Amino acid sequence: MTGWNALVDRYVALWNEADDELRAKTVEDMYTTDAVYVMYARDPFVGHRAITRQITYAHRLYTPMGYTFKSSHNAVGHHNLVRFNWVMLSLETGGVEIVGLDVLVLDDSGRIRADYQFHEKLPSFSYDGLPTPEELLGP
């Protein structure tokens, strides 16, 4: 596959998507049915429903706090792997709050089979006291 940054732009746009139905549809389009999303702070999310729920949680948590996600446009890949950075920016100041690194494992059609996320810069705010997924999304 070529056009790694185009794939990453679509991926990052998913995390900024405000429409719940479009977000869920995009997850179905971009991820395999049994895809896994792994981040440092939680157990892995497996399948469209779990991945959509986590992305929705992030959107509903960070958007009201005044943040947005942006690609660093440094994607590189080979075979079925792509690595890239992204940032979470303050809409008010443009300051970088989080720097992330993702490694995507793709299937032969270019859909995401696995998404491994790392944080290279953690936020200045504490996660303690932030609403849980259950508080924002329900059970």
DSSP of the chain, one letter per residue? ---HHHHHHHHHHHHH---HHHHHHHHHHHEEEEEEEE-TTSPPEESHHHHHHHHHHHHHHHTTTTEEEEE-S--EEETTEEEEEEEEEETTT--EEEEEEEEEEE-TTS-EEEEEEEEEE--SS-STTSPPHHHHH--
Which two tokens mark 122?
């953690």
Length of the chain: 139
The per-residue pLDDT for range 77-107, each reduced to its tens digit, is 999 999 999 999 999 999 999 999 999 999 9
Instruction: Read off the CATH number of the domain in which 43 is found.
Output: 3.10.450.50
Q: Do 57 and 48 contact (CB within 8 A), yes or no? A: no
Between 123 and 48, the more confident residue is: 48
Whether pLDDT at 1 is above 60:
no
Which domain range does residue 16 map to?
A: 4-137
Whether pLDDT at 2 is above 80:
no
pTM higher than the cut 0.75: yes
Tokens 């986590």 correspond to 54
Tell me the mean pLDDT in the region 112-126.
95
Task: For residues 25 and 14, give the distance between their C-alpha atoms in angstroms, rounded to a whole number.
Answer: 10
Confidence of residue 40 (pLDDT cuts 50, 70, 90): confident
Q: So what's the pLDDT on residue 128?
A: 87
Tell me the mean pLDDT in the region 97-125.
97
What average pLDDT does the chain have?
96
Tell me the mean pLDDT in the region 20-45.
96
Q: Do 60 and 20 contact (CB within 8 A), yes or no? A: no
Q: Which residues contact 87 (CB under 8 A, 6 or more apart)?
A: 69, 70, 72, 96, 97, 98, 99, 100
Structural domain total, the chain:
1
